[in-house]
Structure 1
Amino acid sequence: MRLRLIAATALLLVVWTTQAANPDPDAAPLAQRLQAIDTDPARNAHAAYERLQARQAVQALVSAKRKQRPMALRIARIRVETAEIASATEARRAELQRLETERSELLVEASRRDAERARAEAERVRLEAKIQAEEAARLREAIAAEARSREEAEGLLDTVAGSEAEKLRQAREREAELARREAELMGTATPPKPKPAPKPRTKPKAKPKPPAR
């Protein structure tokens, strides 16, 4: 196919060069339209078969006899128009494919970035949960240490209170022993009874006021 295209193009160039001094008024515009496709970077890589058929039709028009020219001109125009439409359609299709590929790549990139953001958010939440758990553990440890300190303080108070009570009991026993010995020395059989604790004072009752006359 490629060799045929090259051969047809070379032959058409020879015909155009031969007819350059006296160009064909019907073939020249069609050849210019084909040349516009060849020089267009968006279309010159597409519709190779249709462009080959158009060149062959233009070549046939140039070499056609007078009676064959109307039909050859009609065929050449159809072939050139077909080449134009086919090259433009394939160029648009290629552009659409390029855009679809670019869109797919963008979607993949967006998905990748979304996944990275999701992983970063999950990592942030995990770190916050870890920090909160460590803070809760520290608070529990502080509460437990405070409770132990309170228990130790209460135990120390109980110990001090018990020691003071024991000292008071021993002091009372010594006081009673001294009183007993003093009574023996004074010739008393029994030691004097301990003084009763003074009764709490009560407020005197208010005297009723005499009735008003």
Structure 2
Amino acid sequence: MTVSSIAARAGLLATLAVSLMLSLPQARAADDPDVGRLQQRLVALDADMAFAGMAPLERLQARQAVDALAGVRARQRPSALQVAQWRVETAEIAARTDAARREIDRLDRERADLLLEASRREAARARQEAERLRIQTQIQAEETARLRETAEAESMARQEAETVLQGVSSREAARLRAARERAAELKRQEEELLRSLESDAATQPY
């Protein structure tokens, strides 16, 4: 038999015991103030919704002990009264313990839910931050690529300009060399002509 089935049967028995206890003649409780006092504590425990369904086995044992007290002989009464009081106190303590345990479980679940929600929010913030960094990195990479392309275009333009300037300089240098060569040729021809004139003048008679 499982614990849950035992608890269910105990709860059913507790309910039946309450019904029987309430149906007992009032005279018995009036004749025995201890029984009446303990019964009132059990009735108050059953009426408290904060302890509904809690400690059913302990409540049943307490009712049985109170019922036994009502029918016990005089010489057995002190020990039966002590047992009944212990059983009622045990039922009250067990009910409060179960209520506290249920509250602890509720708080633990609430704490777990809060931690889970906080974890989800933190994960969402982390994803948002990662997406922001990804976009920022992509923008920086695109900007770097654009600057590299611009620098490469400017470098190619400078190289082309230098090539053009070198070509112009080469043509100008060639023209300069050609002009110098023509000037040297003209000077040589002029010198030859002067020498020829001088030679002719020297050979003519006066």
TM-score range, shorter chain: 0.7 to 0.9
Aligned-residue offset at 1:171: 4.5
Aligned-residue offset at 1:158: 1.6
3-state secondary structure, aligned to 2:50: coil
3-state secondary structure, aligned to 1:26: helix
- Mapped contact 1:60–1:72 kept (Cα < 8 A): yes
Give yes or no for the alignment of 1:7 onto 2:12: no
Aligned-residue offset at 1:10: 1.0
Q: 1:104 to 1:21 in 2, by over 3 A?
A: closer
Aligned-residue offset at 1:41: 2.6
| Structure 1 segment 104-115 matched on structure 2, within 5 A | 104-115=112-123
Among candidates 134, 138, 152, match of residue 146 of structure 2: 138
Q: 1:21 to 1:99 in 2, by over 3 A?
A: closer
Distance 2:176 2:12 in 1: 129
TM-score if structure 1 supplies the norm length?
A: 0.71
Amino acid at match of 2:18: T
- Mapped contact 1:33–1:80 kept (Cα < 8 A): yes
Q: 1:190 to 1:4 in 2, by over 3 A?
A: farther
Question: What residue ranges of structure 2 are gaps of 5+ in the alignment?
Answer: 1-8, 197-206
Distance 2:29 2:114 in 1: 55
Across the aligned residues of Structure 1 and Structure 2, the Cα RMSD in angstroms comes to: 3.2
Residue 188 of structure 1 corresponds to which residue in structure 2? 193
3-state secondary structure, aligned to 1:188: helix
Question: What residue ranges of structure 1 are gaps of 5+ in the alignment?
Answer: 192-213
- The number of residue pairs the alignment matches comes to 187
Distance 1:8 1:21 in 2: 16
Aligned-residue offset at 1:162: 2.5
Amino acid at match of 2:127: R
Aligned-residue offset at 1:20: 8.5
Amino acid at match of 1:4: L
Which has the larger displacement, 102-111 or 80-89? 102-111
Q: 1:21 to 1:169 in 2, by over 3 A?
A: closer
- Deviation string 1:160-198 (CA, Å, 9 cap, x unpaired) is 2223334444555666677788x59xx92679xxxxxxx
Residue 156 of structure 2 corresponds to which residue in structure 1? 148
- Mapped contact 1:61–1:73 kept (Cα < 8 A): yes
Instruction: Quote the sequence identity (%).
Output: 52
TM-score if structure 2 supplies the norm length?
A: 0.73
Pick 1 or 2: higher relative contact order, CA cutoff 8 A, min separation 6: 2
Which has the larger displacement, 102-111 or 46-55? 102-111
- Deviation string 1:116-165 (CA, Å, 9 cap, x unpaired) is 33333333333333232222222221211111111111111122222333
Amino acid at match of 1:11: L
- Mapped contact 1:180–1:190 kept (Cα < 8 A): no
Among candidates 69, 76, 97, match of residue 89 of structure 1: 97
Distance 2:29 2:15 in 1: 24
Structure (1 or 2) with the greater helix fraction: 2
| Structure 1 segment 9-24 matched on structure 2, within 5 A | 9-15=18-24, 18-19=26-27, 22=30, 24=32
Residue 137 of structure 2 corresponds to which residue in structure 1? 129
